Structures are given as structure tokens and as C-alpha cells.
């Protein structure tokens, strides 16, 4: 996920140690991110703001208020997809070196890694980067093979892209939308991500940097009926059921 470069973890966010065995680790995370450490009872009583970093026996996650009754949202272990059917794998093509510049919860990167790609995940939102780092540690300890093909970089994607090169650069910028209710609440993950990181303000710039860094193509994930990123028509597109993947040639060979 790419947010404004000045964005840090919002001040109303707290870390909640929902598992007593995670209290020490949760306290260290809270100190590192400059956040309060909140007791579960206080969270249940309504403290902690609209989103918290929730650390339970299953790992680090995002969670809303107790009143929402929604389950924690966390990075999921990489799962294999059908290479001939999955539009993301078709969009990336045969190339194996992929740079995911807007990693978020790491779902797309995990799909690519499970399919054999070597994936660099870049995430500059500190809380999300911490979640991904913790998830990767767990998956590697559990012997999840795809996790060995995933490398996390915590930092600004724009800085990283300016000095990077990869066969394929993948972008999935936050699409502007509501945060308070309605359809946004039907998908708790995107809702909490937007509360935490806000809308991406530099996605047009990211596209240019991605095209300069890509050796073969840039893949941009968009809602199915959304306009193309930066108003720039892609060289091609692969539609899925709810999203599409716009394909851009590298900058130096674009007609």
C-alpha cells in the first residue's frame, strides 16, 4: 500500500495484546511505532479508535471496534492459484522476478510466490509492514515454501522504484471510496486498510516510476469498471470477475 510520504500510523490506533503470550512482543511493537498498548478489556469498552493492531495466538492483525463484531483481518498464508485461469498470473506472464510496490496485506504477492515467482514486497505504512514481517516469520517457521520467495522492504515505494529494476512491477493502489459504512463495510479488509492508510495520493507518480523500473511490463490492478490509472490507457487488459489487470509496457519502449 502506498500512502502519503508523511503518513505514519494514525494517532488513534493502539496495539492490543489479545493473547497473554504476545504481551511482550506487543509492547515492543507499540514502543517501536510510538503507539499506546491497550488492554483487551479497554478495547471491549470502546477504547482504541476505529482500528487497532490486534495480536492474538494466530499472529498480528487489524481489527475494528468491538461493536463492529468483525473478525481480525490478517495476512493469509500464500495459496496456489490455477496458472491457466488466474488473471493475475496471466497478467504477470512467464517472468519470475516481480516487485509488488503496494504490498498491503500481501495477498497478491502470496499468490505469485505460491506460483513460483520471486516477489519483493514494498510497504511504507509502518503498521502494515510490521504485520507482513510478523506473518513472514511465522510462515517460514511453519515451513511454508512460498514464504522463502517473498522479501519484504519497509519503505517508500517511490524511493525504492527509483533505484530498482524487476521483470514485472505490480501496483494495486487504494481506490478512493467511503470509509464510514455502506459497501465499504461489506469488505472489512479494504475498510480497515483505508482507515489505517487513507487514500493513495501519489498513484499517478507511482505508475511512471514503475514503468521506468520494469524490464518487461507493469501490471496495475483496478476495480473492473474504474478508469485507468493516471488516465493513461494501458497497452492491454485482463478482466476478472470484480477487478481487471491493466498492462503497461516499460517506459523506454512505449509507443
How are beta strands 243-248 and 214-223 bridged, if at all? antiparallel
| Residue 177 confidence (pLDDT) | 56
Q: Which domains are seen in the chain, by residue range?
A: 15-68 (no CATH), 87-253 (3.40.50.150)
Half-sphere exposure of residue 31: CA atoms within 13 angstroms, side-chain side: 6
Whether the Cβ atoms of residue 52 and residue 13 lie closer than 8 Å to each other: yes
Taken in order 211, 127, 113, 76, the sign of the CA dihedral is negative
Whether the Cβ atoms of residue 140 and residue 113 lie closer than 8 Å to each other: no
Sequence-ordered strand ranges (E) for the chain:
15-17, 37-38, 52-56, 59-63, 97-100, 118-123, 150-154, 166-171, 214-223, 236-239, 243-248
pLDDT in tens, the chain (255 residues): 544 433 455 557 899 999 999 999 999 999 999 999 999 999 999 998 899 999 999 999 999 999 988 999 999 999 887 767 899 999 999 999 999 999 999 999 999 999 999 999 999 999 999 999 999 999 999 999 999 999 999 999 999 999 999 999 999 998 765 444 444 344 788 889 888 877 666 788 999 999 999 999 999 999 999 999 989 999 999 998 899 999 999 986 444
- Please choose, from the candidates 133, 6, 135, the residue with its C-alpha nearest in 3D space to the C-alpha of residue 73: 135
Q: How far apart are CA 127 and CA 147, in angstroms?
A: 20
| Residue 85 confidence (pLDDT) | 83
Q: How far apart are CA 4 and CA 120, in angstroms?
A: 21
| Residue 176 confidence (pLDDT) | 60
Taken in order 224, 185, 198, 74, the sign of the CA dihedral is negative
Amino acid at each position: 500500500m502506498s500512502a502519503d510520504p508523511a503518513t505514519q500510523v494514525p494517532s488513534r490506533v493502539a496495539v492490543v495484546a489479545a493473547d497473554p503470550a504476545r504481551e511482550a512482543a506487543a509492547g515492543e511493537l507499540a514502543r517501536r511505532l510510538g503507539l499506546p498498548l491497550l488492554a483487551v478489556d479497554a478495547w471491549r469498552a470502546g477504547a482504541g479508535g476505529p482500528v487497532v493492531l490486534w495480536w492474538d495466538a494466530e499472529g498480528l492483525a487489524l481489527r475494528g471496534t468491538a461493536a463492529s463484531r468483525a473478525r481480525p483481518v490478517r495476512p493469509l498464508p500464500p495459496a496456489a492459484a490455477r496458472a491457466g485461469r488466474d488473471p493475475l498470473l496471466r497478467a504477470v506472464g512467464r517472468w519470475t522476478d516481480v516487485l509488488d510496490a503496494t504490498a498491503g496485506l500481501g495477498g497478491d504477492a502470496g499468490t505469485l510466490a505460491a506460483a513460483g515467482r520471486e516477489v519483493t514486497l514494498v510497504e511504507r505504512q509502518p503498521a502494515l509492514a510490521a504485520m507482513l514481517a510478523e506473518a513472514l516469520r511465522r510462515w517460514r517457521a511453519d515451513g511454508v515454501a512460498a514464504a522463502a520467495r517473498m522479501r519484504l522492504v519497509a519503505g517508500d515505494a517511490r524511493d525504492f522504484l527509483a533505484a530498482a529494476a524487476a521483470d514485472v512491477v505490480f501496483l494495486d493502489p487504494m481506490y478512493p471510496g467511503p470509509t464510514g459504512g455502506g459497501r465499504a463495510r461489506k469488505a472489512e479488509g479494504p475498510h480497515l486498510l483505508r482507515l489505517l492508510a487513507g487514500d493513495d495520493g501519489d498513484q499517478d507518480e507511482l505508475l511512471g516510476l514503475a514503468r521506468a523500473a520494469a524490464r518487461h511490463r507493469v501490471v496495475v490492478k483496478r476495480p473492473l469498471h474504474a478508469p485507468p490509472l493516471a488516465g493513461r490507457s494501458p497497452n492491454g487488459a485482463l478482466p476478472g470477475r470484480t477487478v481487471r489487470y491493466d498492462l503497461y509496457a516499460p517506459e523506454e519502449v512505449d509507443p
